[in-house]
Amino acid sequence: MSRDPLLNQIWDKVKNLDAVEEKIDGLSTRLDGLKTTVDTLQNTVNTHTSEIAEIRSELATTRAEVKSLKTSHHVREQRLRSTTVRLFNYPYFRGESLDNFKALAAKIYERIIRPTLVAAKTAGDAGSVQQQQNVIEACFRVYARNQSDEASAPTSTPIIIRLASSSIKQLVMKHRKAIPPPSEGEKKDGIRRFVLVEDLTPEAHSLLKALQQDSRTEKVWSINGQICYTKPGIPGIIKVKNIFDPLESILS
């Protein structure tokens, strides 16, 4: 005896509902498992977040310590250069070599240093013009690698001059405009002017160059290793407190 078609439809729907209920129970079990996994992952994330915060704190401390060490080292290094200056564009001369320091010192004294001392005496900043042996302690050219003399040097390289005292250095730097300009022959060789500057550490020199090339500065210079600058249209001199600060912080 066949069932009523309506009962058959109802029976099929009941079976479908049972199947759906089983699926819902399965999904519920899976959701419970996923929730447990999510809770575990959240705990892991919280642990890692705490660890990252600690690492960041340690890193900040380490960076501060490194900066402090770099600053201390720079201060000591710059202090060692307190009586030295660098001369640029001075031409090579016949017989100049790595071993010929005395000849180089004699020429540098007569051509570069002595005129500044004469100007200092004329201005009343010095009582007399001291002789070379009382002014220059050492003088040598910074040859490039694998370069030892004029024959292997197409252009002149910097000369480091160690003066006898910081007071002499101050006189020389103050009156360096009295240095005679290049001769006609030297001008033909491409030398436009002699440049005498403080002997800065590489880090200080890099910062000096960066500030000079930045449009937010007007004048940039150094005095006794201290880098200073002015801003366009703003009165006053700004002194760089720490050369290892970010450039944006220095210019802010």
More confident residue, 19 or 210: 210
What was the pLDDT predicted at 144? 67
Q: Which helix (H) or strand (E) holds 238?
A: strand 234-239
Burial label, 172 (beta-carbon count in 10 A; 0-12, 13-18, 19+): buried
What was the pLDDT predicted at 100? 74
What was the pLDDT predicted at 154? 44
Report the C-alpha gap between 64 and 70 in whole angstroms: 10
What was the pLDDT predicted at 246? 94
| pLDDT of residue 46 exceeding 50 | yes
pTM: 0.70
More confident residue, 60 or 220: 220
User: C-alpha distances in angstroms, 61 versus 48, 74, 104?
Assistant: 20, 20, 48
